[in-house]
């Protein structure tokens, strides 16, 4: 029995020296201290009485020695594990950082915001109007009766609901704004998407933004319209930029003009405009004998084409990163 105790101590100390992890140490500790030694000490009762004191004494000594050895080895292993963790998890602070991929605003959104800000600085409020319109507001109330040939100016996306369409321009918002504010004076812009069943080419898209402008008050004149549009062009493109007004026709303005701005690729039409037609003022709730107004509708995508000398409007919605990343 004494020999068994001595062997157990020697073997355990050797195993303790060899193991390297806390898990192994815990397994060994419970096997030896809770298992084998306890078993030996319990069996003392079955020994001849004269052997019992020696075995009991050695048993206790071995247990104390091993407990101390386990405690000491435990400290060592914990220190080793900590050192290993620190080494493996070490951060090399001299490595170059990984670049964070950030998105940016779409060039069309950026110009739209720039355009809106210029109008805001010039005293215009933003008025949001709906994308889905009824035929009346998009056409009839804007002095474009049913079956009138002027409807052909805007190729329309119809819905399955009778009379419900996608707005072909932001001008129907004029009616909503006037009906909300009449008879107060108005100075608003109405930005938003418009939709046209259009033959797509370098300057025409099916879906594009417009920024409508509407000013209504007493004594608003054509010269106010011209001065305002020139002031916008100069704020957007610089004071040297040339602007020209061409006679045109829109059923909801009289007289009507189209506004071109000169760019690297020649003149580009960026807006239609004119003095609000008396019929439209009346439909909006203003007495045309007392009130007058001007309105315009510009295409911010066209404004962007001009600003960055982009040759084709189709780049905007093709989602080609080589194009988009340039902005
Ligand atoms: C209109 O839509 C009129 N509602 C504008 C208006 C408002 C006139 C108020 C008078 C008073 P037009 O179809 O020309 O007009 O379009 C206005 C502007 O939108 C154009 O000058 C152009 O800048 C832009 N635009 C028109 N069609 C397209 C298209 N297919 N793709 C991109 N931009 C377009």
Residue 11 φ/ψ, nearest 5 degrees: -60, -45
- Are 143 and 223 part of one and the same domain? yes
Nearest CA to ligand 1 atom 14: 272
**Residue 98 falls inside a structural domain:** no
What local confidence, expressed as pLDDT, does residue 1 receive?
80
**Helix H or strand E segment including 191:** strand 186-195
Q: How many CB atoms lie within 10 A of CB 231?
A: 14
Among the candidates 33, 60, 88, a domain finishes at 88
- Report the percent of the chain where pLDDT is more than 70: 100
Which CATH number does the domain housing residue 262 bear? Answer: 3.30.930.10
- Are 82 and 113 part of one and the same domain? no
Q: How far is CA 74 from the centre of its chain?
A: 54
If we measure between CA atoms, which residue out of 27, 63, 25 comes closest to residue 42?
A: 63
Ligand 1, CB within 6 Å, residue ranges: 169, 171, 196, 198, 204-205, 208, 210, 212, 250, 253, 269-274, 295-299, 301-302, 313
Residue 44 pLDDT more than 90? Answer: no
Which of 220, 272, 303 has the most ligand 1 atoms within 8 A of CB, as the residue to mutate? 272
**Helix H or strand E segment including 268:** strand 266-276
Instruction: Establish how many alpha carbons lie within 13 A of residue 247's alpha carbon, considering only the half-sphere containing its beta carbon.
Output: 1
What local confidence, expressed as pLDDT, does residue 203 receive?
85
Q: How far is the CA of 160 from the centre of ligand 1 (A)?
A: 25
Nearest CA to ligand 1 atom 10: 273
What local confidence, expressed as pLDDT, does residue 71 receive?
92
- Are 268 and 317 part of one and the same domain? yes
Nearest CA to ligand 1 atom 27: 204
Q: How far is the CA of 266 from the centre of ligand 1 (A)?
A: 18
- Locate the ligand 1 atom nearest the alpha carbon of residue 296 and give its number: 9
Separation between Cα atoms, residue 259 and residue 250, nearest integer Å: 13
Domain count for the chain, please give it. 2
- Are 193 and 221 part of one and the same domain? yes
pLDDT band at 192 (very low <50, low <70, confident <90, very high): very high
**Residue 186 falls inside a structural domain:** yes
If we measure between CA atoms, which residue out of 246, 186, 255, 172 comes closest to residue 216?
A: 186
What local confidence, expressed as pLDDT, does residue 222 receive?
97
What local confidence, expressed as pLDDT, does residue 302 receive?
87
Q: What is the mean pLDDT of residues 209-219?
A: 97
Residue 227 pLDDT more than 90? Answer: yes
Site of tokens 């210029």: 118
Q: How far is the CA of 154 from the centre of ligand 1 (A)?
A: 9
pLDDT band at 153 (very low <50, low <70, confident <90, very high): confident
3-state SS class at 123: coil
The domain of 45 spans 2-88
More confident residue, 93 or 281: 281
- Locate the ligand 1 atom nearest the alpha carbon of residue 174 and give its number: 9
pLDDT band at 198 (very low <50, low <70, confident <90, very high): confident
pLDDT band at 273 (very low <50, low <70, confident <90, very high): very high
Q: What is the mean pLDDT of residues 292-317?
A: 90
pLDDT band at 10 (very low <50, low <70, confident <90, very high): very high
More confident residue, 287 or 36: 287
DSSP assigned state of 100:
P
**pLDDT one-digit tens code per residue, 103-144:** 888 888 899 999 999 999 999 999 999 999 999 999 999 999
Q: How far is the CA of 200 from the centre of ligand 1 (A)?
A: 14
260 bridge partner residues: 244, 269
**Residue 97 falls inside a structural domain:** no
- Are 78 and 184 part of one and the same domain? no
Tell me the pLDDT of the chain averaged across its residues: 92
More confident residue, 119 or 314: 119
Cα distances (Å, whole numbers) of residue 38 to 26, 31, 41, 45, 323: 17, 10, 5, 13, 80
Separation between Cα atoms, residue 236 and residue 227, nearest integer Å: 14
Which CATH number does the domain housing residue 6 bear? Answer: 1.20.58
- Are 135 and 277 part of one and the same domain? yes
pTM of the complete model: 0.72
- Are 160 and 287 part of one and the same domain? yes
């Amino acid at each position: 029995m004494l020999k068994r105790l001595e062997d157990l101590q020697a073997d355990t100390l050797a195993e303790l020296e060899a193991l390297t992890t806390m898990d192994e140490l815990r397994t060994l500790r419970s096997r030896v201290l809770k298992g084998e030694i306890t078993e030996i000490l319990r069996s003392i009762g079955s020994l001849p009485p004269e052997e019992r004191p020696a075995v009991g004494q050695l048993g206790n000594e071995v247990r104390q020695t091993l407990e101390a050895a386990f405690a000491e080895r435990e400290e060592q292993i914990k220190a080793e594990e900590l050192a290993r963790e620190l080494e493996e998890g070490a951060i090399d602070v001299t490595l170059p950082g990984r670049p964070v991929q950030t998105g940016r605003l779409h060039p069309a959104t950026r110009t739209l915001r720039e355009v809106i800000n210029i109008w805001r600085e010039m005293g215009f409020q933003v008025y949001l109007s709906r994308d889905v319109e009824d035929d009346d507001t998009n056409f009839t109330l804007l002095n474009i009766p049913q079956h009138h040939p002027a409807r052909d100016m805007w190729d329309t996306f119809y819905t399955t609901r009778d009379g419900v369409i996608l707005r072909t321009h932001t001008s129907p918002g004029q009616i909503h704004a006037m009906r909300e504010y009449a008879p107060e004076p108005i100075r608003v812009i109405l930005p938003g998407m418009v939709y046209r069943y259009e033959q797509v080419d370098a300057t025409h898209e099916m879906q594009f933004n417009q920024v409508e402008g509407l000013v209504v008050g007493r004594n608003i004149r054509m010269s106010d319209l011209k001065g305002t549009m020139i002031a916008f062009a100069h704020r957007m493109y610089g004071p040297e930029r040339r602007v020209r007004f061409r006679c045109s026709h829109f059923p909801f303005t009289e007289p009507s003009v189209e506004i071109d701005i000169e760019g690297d690729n020649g003149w580009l039409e960026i807006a239609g405009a004119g003095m609000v037609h008396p019929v439209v003022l009346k439909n909006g709730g203003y007495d045309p004998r007392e009130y007058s107004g001007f309105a315009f509708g510009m295409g911010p995508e066209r404004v962007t084409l001009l600003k960055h000398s982009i040759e084709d409007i189709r780049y905007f919605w093709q989602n080609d990163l080589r194009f988009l990343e340039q902005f």
